[in-house]
């Protein structure tokens, strides 16, 4: 790793000053992606601005009928939260299934969505639940936030403060795990909203995106049979040593059907 300056400010204003004063500055959340990238020399920031000194970013609270989850909430705290389990159990399960104990205790919601890894779990949950990403300067709808492979709508000096989620009982996130890391080899989040169904797929290799054909079919008729004949084109996926593109695309269909069956089985 190259040498760098480390700061742990106690005010958001100081964070922004740091980012604006150094084009090579980077925010540090739990370091679960950034430190690995620095060790591999994929990233070489000259200034690391640690967000751990901002307790406001660790807030997790009810907001209206929904939830506010601060950017610095670690996955373990989301998984353990009684409020999250009550209002959006899908998110507690998603967070509890991330990586291992160390990753869940250091990795954060904000770091995960800012990083936008194409195999990450949080982006699928944020997209399917139609959440809103709130930064130091604006609110960004989930549909506008993720822009492709490791891509987001964030500006270089923008800080994610938290995410606003609607309460969501009728939603599931299922993933087939890459056995070494527990990242999603393929993962699917299905959420049934009053105005239709949203299906977000992660792990296909080219970013996290909504499966429009499945959404339309399930919005007309919410049952697994509605997905018959629908499949993701393997050309939309990537292959690697863990799985071929065909296998990943097939898994997306299987997981979507299972998630729908799972939700349907809990309906009165
Ligand atoms: C072994 C291993 C297994 C994992 N398994 C999974 C898994 O199963 N599913 C899954 O979804 N993820 C998984 N992860 C990723 C993990 O969940 C972390 O959320 C992710 O690595 C981001 O880490 P972090 O929160 O520590 O952010 P950092 O690594 O500190 O930061 C990541 C990036 O986000 C930026 N950033 C951080 N916070 C903010 C903010 N508030 N505003 C703007 N930019 C910000 C940083 O500048 C950096 O560019 C795994 C990671 C590891 C190492």
For ligand 1, atom 3, the nearest C-alpha belongs to: 99
Domain 55-165, CATH among 3.75.10.10, 2.160.10.10, 3.30.465.10, 2.40.37.10: 3.30.465.10
171-265 has which CATH code? 3.30.390.50
Contact predicate 80/104, CB 8 Å: no
In which band, very low, low, confident or very high, does the pLDDT at 3 lie, cut at 50, 70 and 90?
Answer: confident
Running DSSP on this structure, what letter comes out for residue 156?
Answer: T
Q: Is the pLDDT of residue 18 over 90?
A: yes
If one counts every other C-beta atom within 10 angstroms of the C-beta of residue 234, the result is: 16
- Measure 213 CA to ligand 1 centroid, in angstroms: 30
Per-residue pLDDT tens over the stretch 54-83? 999 999 999 999 999 999 999 999 999 999
pLDDT value, residue 169: 85
Whether the CB of 110 sits within 6 Å of ligand 1:
yes
**Among 112, 135, 174, residue to substitute to test ligand 1 (most atoms within 8 Å of Cβ):** 112
Per-residue pLDDT tens over the stretch 189-248? 999 999 999 999 999 988 999 999 999 999 999 999 999 999 999 999 999 999 999 999
**Mean pLDDT for the chain?**
96
pLDDT value, residue 266: 83
Q: For the chain, where are the alpha helices, taking DSSP H only?
A: 12-21, 34-39, 75-80, 82-87, 89-96, 101-106, 109-115, 122-128, 142-145, 212-220, 245-265
Q: Is the pLDDT of residue 267 over 90?
A: no
User: Quick one: CATH architecture of 5-53?
Assistant: 2-Layer Sandwich (3.30)
Q: Which of 105-119, 172-186, 249-263 has the lowest mean pLDDT?
A: 172-186
Contact predicate 187/121, CB 8 Å: yes
- Measure 118 CA to ligand 1 centroid, in angstroms: 12
Q: What strand order describes the sheet that includes 139-141?
A: 60-63, 66-70, 160-165, 132-135, 139-141
What three-state secondary structure class fits 174? strand
């Amino acid at each position: 790793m190259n040498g760098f300056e480390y700061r742990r400010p106690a005010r958001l204003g100081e964070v922004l000053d740091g980012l604006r004063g150094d084009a090579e500055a980077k925010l540090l959340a739990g370091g679960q992606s950034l430190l690995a990238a620095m060790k591999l020399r994929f990233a070489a920031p000259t200034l690391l601005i640690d967000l751990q000194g901002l307790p406001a970013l660790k807030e997790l609270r009810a907001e209206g009928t929904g939830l506010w989850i601060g950017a610095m909430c670690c996955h373990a705290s989301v998984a353990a939260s009684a409020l999250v389990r009550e209002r959006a159990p899908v998110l507690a399960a998603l967070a509890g299934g991330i990586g291992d104990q160390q990753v869940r205790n250091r990795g954060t919601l904000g770091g995960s969505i800012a990083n936008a890894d194409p195999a990450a779990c949080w982006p699928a949950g944020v997209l399917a639940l139609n959440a809103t990403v709130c930064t130091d300067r604006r609110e960004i709808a989930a549909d506008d936030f993720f822009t492709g492979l490791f891509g987001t709508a964030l500006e270089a000096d923008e800080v994610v403060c938290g995410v606003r989620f609607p309460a969501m009982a009728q939603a599931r996130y299922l993933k087939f795990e890459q056995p070494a890391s527990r990242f999603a080899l393929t993962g699917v989040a299905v959420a049934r909203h009053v105005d239709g169904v949203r299906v977000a797929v992660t792990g296909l290799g080219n970013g996290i995106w909504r499966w429009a054909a499945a959404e339309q079919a399930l919005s007309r008729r919410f049952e697994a049979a509605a997905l018959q004949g629908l499949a993701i084109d393997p050309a939309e996926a990537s292959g690697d040593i863990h799985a071929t593109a065909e296998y990943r695309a097939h898994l997306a269909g299987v997981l979507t059907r299972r998630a729908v069956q799972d939700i349907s089985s809990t309906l009165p």
